[in-house]
Amino acid sequence: LILCTPPMRDGNIHPAILYAADLCGVSQIFKGGGAQAIAAMAYGTASIPKVDKIFGPGNRFVTIAKQLVGRRNVAIDMPAGPSELLIIADENANPDFLAADLLSQSEHGADSQTILVSPDDQLLKQIPTAIQKQISQRQRQDILKESLQHTRLILVENIDDALAFSNEYAPEHLILALRDAERFSTQILNAGSVFLGNFTPESAGDYASGTNHTLPTGAFARSYSGLNTLSFMKAITFQNISPNGLRSLGPIIEEMAEAEELDAHKYAVTIRLKSLQER
């Protein structure tokens, strides 16, 4: 298990990363990030070994690099990045909470996208003011101001329309800031991770609620799950068929092979069945 991570300005690796790597049993740490780190792990270099699978989110260049090397050189977890947040809110939502959530996801990078969907036009009208009030107190103001160019506030007829939009968009993170959020959760078909209610910020999923922070983006939540324990495992199947077992399965195999017009497949069974008849 190896780790590639960009160093800080002083050339050192952040101590929190070192501590987390130690907890996870990482054997080697290399200073490097971005698409170049993806290439190094996919192909191997004089100092960085070639790996079997690459995990972790990144910007659009990292995501494209992972998809490119994942075609034939190495497995990847999923396309993950740039970051996304979709919020569905009703009249019971707190506009200051919503603004804080939009900003928390926007600070990931200038190419992050955040969207708020609601049937309450009065709620939507309060959001720009709430954002401006909070942004002046945040540290990454330059990134936030650029990222907010991708923010959208969308008015819909009702919550069902909002849910339909969400399932089509398939967000990385989805917050249901609704009065009875759990009731609507059964209608969620496509999302990386879902946060229910007004007191479940997306930040909780990043750090402490127990779910994983590495999630599919770019509508890939329609076909990928978030990172989990099974992502680090693979299954190998074994078969051992007895003579009686082949007598039972053989005709089925022959019929299926014949339907696919693969006579060599069929003959590999037929020759064995004939040998059993001669016993």
The residue annotated as part of the active site, out of 84, 107, 173, 213, is 173
| Longest distance between any two alpha carbons in the chain, whole Å | 87
Active site residue 84: no
What tokens does 1 get?
């298990």
CA 268 to chain centre: 42
Measure CA of the first residue to CA of the last residue in the chain; give whole Å.
53
What tokens does 195 get?
């946060």
The residue annotated as part of the active site, out of 84, 107, 108, 172, is 172
Active site residue 173: yes
Separation CA 11–CA 6 (nearest Å): 9
Q: Which residues are catalytic?
A: 172-173
